[in-house]
Amino acid sequence: MWLRTRNDLTFDFAVPTPLILMLRPHSGSDQWIAREEYRLEPHVPACEFTDTYGNLCQRLTAPPGQFAISTIAEVKVADAVAQAPGAPFVDIEQLPDNVLIYLLPSRFCESDRFGEMAAEITAGHALGYDQVAAIAGWLRERIRYVPGTSDIPISAVDVNLRQVGVCRDLSHLGIALCRGLSIPARLVVGYLHELEPMDMHAWFEAYVGGRWYTFDATQAELGGGYVAIGYGRDAADVAIFNQFGPPANETSQQITVERFD
């Protein structure tokens, strides 16, 4: 399916403010960027680099006053993400070198604390994809998904205590549980067609059966329409913007995702 995403960010800064942004999706094995815009208003010098996770990041210093960033992308994505019940657990010794980092605990996914709980949740399920599906199912049932309930990321331990969270929170807990089973898992930030209410979205991927598979505990069923912007160990790695210095007087963001094939 073809999607047109649009993300309008506006800031009001008191002082010149360095920003590191992650707002440019890039083509990969699952999505093709056919058209893209990235406008700065006013236009300021900016440069771009690729981080260690392969994400395109933009660096600039926003001027004082109103500053607007507008990005548009036309993207071809899968009509339905791949699913693979029964795909086996990959033995640690068979994992590709560059996947190993996704086994480690991270800022918001304290996987070192979730081994036992993950074993309980997945008891009786075949090792691999089915364990992750069981985790996603458990999240759907037990953790209330309430958009807007948290502004700043909370970690998996806290999500588990509160039993409620935004998409990012559910994903963090899902990731921590997967890693607790020695299944590599990572956070994806991006857009989802027909997300209700429309906003940035976050979901997670787990590495089983020799590749990454998509999981989303906020949706009753796994469909398609996912546009990825950034991948990382958790939200600390894939903030769509990091700002340095005094907070903005005001920040707003408006997102739309339309289908247009």
Which residues would be at the binding site for a second copy (CB under 8 A)? 18, 20, 26-29, 32-39, 43, 45-52, 54, 56-61, 76, 91-93, 97-98, 100-101, 103-107, 110, 112, 152, 182, 236-237, 242, 244-245
Ranges of beta strands (E only) in 26-184 are 31-41, 46-50, 56-62, 65-77, 144-145, 164-165
CA–CA separation, 19 vs 55, rounded Å?
16
Which of 45, 197 has the CB closer to a second copy? Answer: 45
Taking the least distance from each CB to a second copy, the nearer of 6 and 59 is 59
Distance CA 135, CA 255 (A): 29
The smaller minimum CB distance to a second copy, of residues 113 and 140, is found at 113
Smallest distance from the beta carbon of 47 to a second copy, in angstroms?
Answer: 4
Cα separation, 11 vs 224, whole angstroms: 32
* Shortest CB 61 distance to a second copy, Å: 5
* Of the candidates 217, 222, 227, 231, the residue with the CA atom closest to the CA atom of residue 99: 231
Q: What are the residue ranges of helices labelled H in the chain?
A: 115-121, 129-142, 156-162, 167-180
Minimum CB separation of residue 150 from a second copy in Å reads 13
Query: Which strands make up the sheet holding 56-62, listed edge to edge?
Result: 46-50, 56-62, 17-21, 241-243
Q: Which is nearer to a second copy, 99 or 222 (by Cβ)?
A: 99
Q: Which residue has the tokens 């990005």?
A: 71
How far is Cα 20 from Cα 240, in angstroms, rounded to an integer? 8
Q: How far apart are CA 250 and CA 18, in angstroms?
A: 16
Omega before residue 42 within 30° of 0, cis: yes
The minimum distance between CB 223 and a second copy, in angstroms, equals 20
Q: Pick between residue 95 and residue 255 the one whose CB is nearest to a second copy.
A: 95
Shortest spacing between CB 176 and a second copy, in angstroms = 11
111 vs 218, beta carbon nearer a second copy: 111
Is the CB of residue 125 less than 8 Å from the CB of residue 142? no
Phi, psi of 22 (to 5 degrees): -135, 80
Nearer to a second copy by Cβ, of 98 and 149: the residue is: 98
Q: How far is the CB of 31 from a second copy (least distance, A)?
A: 9
* Distance in Å, CB of 76 to a second copy, minimum: 7
